[in-house]
Structure 1
């Protein structure tokens, strides 16, 4: 199974996810949002599959620094623009496998999904 994990290397959740994959012996490719960039079409595919609300990390410091006007006026287009401009606003990790995409890390869910 080809698995790509998208995120930021210093993110604690991404670190946990990578450790879990390594310990389980599951091969994966890592794509660093900041270093490797993010294709707008790829982000749109994730939005189509999961919804922008699930992808947008509202608890991160990058989001909290937005003005009240920016937060109040969020919609699909503005959220996508924010995530493209500042990929740290994307909830992490995003995991793609053949025909499937998910966001976030849960050891129990991943055990069922990848075992």
Structure 2
């Protein structure tokens, strides 16, 4: 499974550690160092819609008005750290965040 996020995100760290402790083989993908492709961005936006954008982040607050009004695809292409984290690609497909529901889906 692949966990998409950034290494400084506490939620990504918790998710990665919990999944590994449960025996899942987790590959971490730093979206800052290895940005999402256009196809991956399109897939994530199709799956999660505007929920893929973290509008609570300092990155969001620092965006220009033009970029705030742009489509999620343009926002993620310009600022990969706007992605709500983590996105996990696992046997169940794609999941967003590290909620109780997501954890239960991975047997945690």
TM-score (norm 1): 0.82
Structure 2 residue 104 is the aligned partner of structure 1 residue 112: yes
Structure 2 residue 59 is the aligned partner of structure 1 residue 62: yes
1:28-107 correspondence runs (5 A) = 28-51=26-49, 53-68=50-65, 70-71=67-68, 73-74=69-70, 78-98=71-91, 100-106=93-99
CA–CA distance in 2 between the matches of 1:111 and 1:6? 16
Q: Deviations over 1:27-53 (max 9, x none)?
A: 1111110112211101101111111x1
CA–CA distance in 1 between the matches of 2:89 and 2:38? 16
Coordinate RMSD, CA, aligned: 1.7
CA–CA distance in 2 between the matches of 1:62 and 1:99? 30
Greater C-alpha Rg: 1
- Large movers: runs of 4+ above 2 Å: 67-71, 108-112
Q: Structure 1 unaligned segments of length 5 or more: list them.
A: none
- The alignment of Structure 1 onto Structure 2 pairs a total of residues equal to 107
Q: Structure 2 unaligned segments of length 5 or more: list them.
A: none
CA–CA distance in 2 between the matches of 1:60 and 1:30? 21
Structure with the largest fraction of helix: 1
Shift of 1:103: 0.9
CA–CA distance in 1 between the matches of 2:103 and 2:72? 31
